[in-house]
Chain A
Amino acid sequence: MSITTTWYLLLAAILFSIGTTGLLVRRNPLIMFMCIELMLNAVNITFVSIGSHLNDLGGQLAVFFVLVVAAAEVVIGLALVVAIMRRRSRTNADDLKILGG
């Protein structure tokens, strides 16, 4: 059985749902960052596989931007965690409850 675009798209959809689940279920910010990466990379797979399916370079072009932006995002996220970490020993999204909500 040859692997068609559909399988790649399916893989991407599954990765995306795993990422979403992780983000909603997990409470450690580092794991949450990884889940976000998972979601973004699912998007990348979708873009690349559709791009190669349609023989369109636009898909790969999109991935460039997503990659770079994802890197910038994670750097900011980690910087925020470092900033919080310096003030308290443990970082857990559930501990963040000064603001209620």
Chain B
Amino acid sequence: MALLIYQRETGLKTMSEFLRNWLTVLIFGGVGILLVSVFLGLGSLLRPSRDTPQKRINYESGVDPQGDMWSQANIRYYVFALMFVLFDVEAVFIFPWAARLEVYGLFGLVEMFIFIFILALGLLYAWRKRLLRWV
């Protein structure tokens, strides 16, 4: 408030603009902190806390978790999933190129081949290092 009065009296336009800009940042940060504390705070206020050992068990679609939380996922799925994601996403770049193929002409074709060559190199690498094998 004092700041606002100070601004009005001195009439420092650039100063007030400066402060207003920073005020937004402050408000943004404040709202962020507020939101978080409301989310977390309301939750802890509203939920009754009757702790039983049963409740401490991880929720896994109603099935009692057995063993370690990591033991179920087999590593070999990961490798395939990871490589799928990597190569799948690159199609994003090929699509717009394909949509306007005729405008690009030969230059575009060569460029795309270089792009695919480098990608293929990655796949070759995975193959050569025996990652594609189902062990």
Contact = CB atoms under 8 A, between A and B. Distances in A.
Judge A-B direct contact (beta carbons within 8 Å). yes
Nearest to B71: A89
Given A21-B36, A86-B75, A71 B70 contact: no
Interface string B82-98: 10011011101100100
Contacts of A89: 68, 70-71
A52 to B, nearest CB: 17
Contact of A75 (B40, B69, B75, B86): B86
B78 to A, nearest CB: 5
Chain B facing A: main interface SS: helix
Nearest to B31: A17
A91 B69 CA distance: 9
B69 to A, nearest CB: 7
Chain A facing B: main interface SS: helix
Contacts of B82: 75, 78-79
B32 interface: yes
A25 B40 contact: yes
A71 B92 CA distance: 11
A21 B86 CA distance: 27
A64 B92 contact: yes
Given A64-B92, A68-B92, A71-B88, 11 more contacts: A20-B32, A21-B36, A21-B39, A67-B89, A68-B89, A68-B90, A72-B86, A82-B75, A85-B75, A89-B71, A91-B70
Interface of A: 17, 20-21, 25, 64, 67-68, 71-72, 74-75, 78-79, 82, 85-86, 89-91
24 contacts: A17-B32, A17-B35, A20-B32, A21-B35, A21-B36, A25-B40, A64-B93, A67-B89, A67-B92, A68-B93, A71-B89, A72-B86, A72-B89, A75-B82, A75-B85, A78-B78, A78-B81, A79-B82, A82-B75, A82-B78, A85-B70, A89-B68, A89-B71, A90-B69
